[in-house]
Amino acid sequence: MKKTQIIILSLAGLLSFASTFTVSWVIKKKKNAAMAAQQAQTADPQQADSKPQKDFFDSMSLTTETNEAGISERQLQHLIADIRSKIKDHRDRQITMDTQAERIEISRLSMQKDIDRLNELQNKLNLTLAQIHQKEAALKDTLTEIDALEKDNFQRLASTYEKMDAMQAGRIMTTMAASNQLQDSVKILYYMNERMAGKLLAEIATKKPELASLICMQLKHVKEMN
């Protein structure tokens, strides 16, 4: 229970006790006054008969006191009722605030779950990206190995063509170009020494000048790229 509720309930209890005590005290006072008047009449009846005006004023005073006591009691009752009403209002407000707090907590928990799911997805995405980077690195390594192996193969072919007769090598390269292997012919010429490559191109140009021109253009492009 909240401290405010405890204080209000304690105040209400104190006021209830005070009102009960006041009413009891007034009633007891009236009873004592009545008993005193009765004893006075019993002890001295002549004196009572000889003072009718005094008894009349005492009666009026007692009636007035009773009226005043009744008004005071009603005021206390109204005060207690007002305090109880305020306590009820406070409890209602507290219930409303507690309900709102519960809703806020539910919303917070829901948002936290969403955040946790997003974090989990982020972690999975990071893991996937890391795996992709690893595969890319492995692919690059593989391509590097392939390039190295391809270079080694073309260097061996270039060495073989250098030992061949220029006319024979020219016929072979012309056949390769006609079979969609123009790029292979260009790479072989790229790895040959310049003097032997020049002889070979000259031999091709005697029979296929257009092909020789195309091979020269492709060879120039390969040299620029490397």
Q: How many domains does the chain have?
A: 1
Alpha carbon distance 76, 14 (integer Å): 12
User: Is residue 28 one of the residues assigned to a domain?
Assistant: no
pLDDT band at 205 (very low <50, low <70, confident <90, very high): very high
User: Is residue 188 one of the residues assigned to a domain?
Assistant: yes
12, exposed or middle or buried, with CB in 10 Å at 0-12, 13-18, 19+? middle
CB atoms within 10 A of CB 197: 20
226, exposed or middle or buried, with CB in 10 Å at 0-12, 13-18, 19+? exposed
User: Is residue 211 one of the residues assigned to a domain?
Assistant: yes
User: Is residue 191 one of the residues assigned to a domain?
Assistant: yes
User: For residue 195, what are its two tokens?
Assistant: 């003097």
Residue 200 has pLDDT above 90, yes or no: yes
User: Is residue 201 one of the residues assigned to a domain?
Assistant: yes
Mean pLDDT (whole number) for 12-19 = 53
User: Is residue 35 one of the residues assigned to a domain?
Assistant: no
Domain that holds residue 201: 164-225
Decide: 160 and 194 in contact? Cβ < 8 Å.
Answer: no
Q: What pTM was computed for the model?
A: 0.46
Share of the chain above pLDDT 70, in %: 69
Decide: 58 and 37 in contact? Cβ < 8 Å.
Answer: yes
